[in-house]
Structure 1
């Protein structure tokens, strides 16, 4: 093999875009099924929508937009090794990944807010429990809003974010950004776990069957998995900003960001769906018994 042949042979590269597209759309499809069943169930039972429903719909919309921008981004080369992305697409892939990350942050924040409003509706008293839920809602949104602002304002002029060759541009220290994003991931995960465990306190004193209490608590406890996704993001953020970071690290971070919002949406839908399914099954059982009465 001569020297010309060696130079003309393209270097091998890793392409994780198919994996990313598969994971994010499975997660989004999963969330879509649950929120659709929740809304259909409420319509079927002639129940009006409340604030938690509207916020949850907004969260799902942000999740969907985040996935769409990720998919468009992968078509331009996102998820591949740096040398495998066409030069004319590099700036656009950076911009699209920033936009996608922004919507995923919104999806996570709004889904947690919806979870909190659901708990507020279930909490009949104005005691410490309700104050704790309000504290979780406000502090989570403040922290995540800060993350959104930093994502768009950490470089100036603005296009320095995706055009790293802009003359005279400046950016915040990378260590400061990483530290804050890791803090937000840790705090967000803590709030997820706390909100998932609060139903134990809410339903404990109620006059309900033990089986009912356990069922609803487990249904709402799925938020723990969102917390796990958020805690895992801490390591993912660290890996993305290492000098030898590869495309697989960025893909993992985007997938975890999608999972956090999607899992929380499912967790918020679970107790409503469980209640509706139990009512329907009891109704069918009574109808069946009446039809067989001689």
Structure 2
């Protein structure tokens, strides 16, 4: 069934935006790996986890694009059959789960990169402790969100076949927790982005080097801002009259959050490559 002319189609916006984000973050990641190879540096845990995060981001983008082919981004009434509607819901759940993994792992890579830039001394003990706290608390909070995503309905397939008999947690409970995770995740993003100021300010390196590294890592602030924006998107979905545009916005913001984090983690390596020095 074709969409009526009076009803907007959000699928082109979703596809264009997520693939720009995937391509941009993939380019930054590729340059990061190439830069380390050029400088004769081996890949470390933060690199491996960052690669895994981008793969999850890529898989989510593929699934989101496939889902738009079946009708994701349209109103339910415009989808041609119940089976296709069920399929779009299932694919969107899987795509969302990959975004959860991408968010958790990209933030972990960000934190691990900071750990490598701090010397384990008494002065840096509090900084390293804060980083480890951010790693564990953020991963636990996001992991619980992933569990909620799959365990909110019983039987399981009622999650995408909403017409089946069974029960689901109230949408307000699930979205309420997801709003908390978005807020906490954004707070940790901003905290980690500000830590380079404390790490590098006391060091005896050139001022422009300090500023460059801090600004590069400070891109994580934008990831935190994106995470905060997800709070409002989730709130809109929780409303009774929420339309497909609100779900599309949430998927775009979820994609942007991980993509920006991947670019932020890659910035210091790219900068040192351009400057002809290797600080990581």
Normalising by structure 2, we get a TM-score of 0.95
- Where in structure 2 are the equivalents of 1:44-193 lying within 5 Å? 44-87=38-81, 88-126=83-121, 127-167=125-165, 169-193=166-190
2:172–2:238 Cα contact (<8 Å) kept: no
Matched, 1:224 2:221: yes
Alignment partner for residue 252 of structure 2, among 231, 250, 255?
Answer: 255
Note the C-alpha offset of 1:247.
1.2
Shift of the 10–261 alpha-carbon distance from structure 1 to 2, 3 Å rule, reads closer
Decide which of 209, 226, 245 is 1:212's aligned counterpart. 209
Q: Does 1:17 pair with 2:11?
A: yes
| Alpha-carbon distance between aligned partners in 2 of 1:86 and 1:254, rounded to the nearest angstrom | 23
Pairing 1:203–2:205 present: no
Equivalent residue number for residue 32 of structure 1: 26
* Distance in 2, Cα, partners of 1:42 & 1:240: 42
Do residues 271 (structure 1) and 265 (structure 2) align?
no
Determine the C-alpha separation between the residues in 2 that align with 1:29 and 1:107.
15
Aligned length: 272
Which is worse superposed, 72-81 or 82-91? 82-91
SS at match of 1:53: helix
CA distance in 2, matches of 1:124, 1:206: 11
Contact conserved, 1:38 with 1:273, CA < 8 A, in 2?
Answer: yes
- 1:78, 1:93 within 8 Å by CA — same for their partners in 2? yes
Residue 14 (structure 1) shift: 2.1
Aligned counterparts of 2:47 and 2:140: Cα–Cα separation in 1: 21
SS of equivalent to 2:276: helix
Is 2:118–2:128's contact at 8 Å kept on the other side of the alignment?
Answer: yes
Bigger radius of gyration among the two: 1
1:42 correspondence with 2:36: yes
The whole-number CA distance in structure 1 between the counterparts of 2:146 and 2:234 is 15
Distance (whole Å) between structure 1 residues aligned to residue 240 and residue 4 of structure 2:
24
Runs of 4+ in 1 over 6 A off after TM superposition: none
**TM superposition shift of 1:12:** 3.9
Q: Is the 8 A contact 1:15 1:81 kept in 2?
A: no
Q: Shift in Å at residue 10 of structure 1?
A: 5.6
User: Is residue 193–residue 217 contact of structure 2 (8 Å, CA) maintained in 1?
Assistant: yes
CA RMSD of aligned residues (A): 1.4
With normalisation by structure 1, the TM-score equals 0.90
1:236 aligned counterpart, secondary structure = helix
* Secondary structure at 1:48 match in 2: coil
Determine the C-alpha separation between the residues in 2 that align with 1:90 and 1:13: 18
> Which runs of no fewer than 5 residues in structure 1 stay unpaired?
1-8, 281-294
Secondary structure at the aligned position of 2:9 is classed as coil
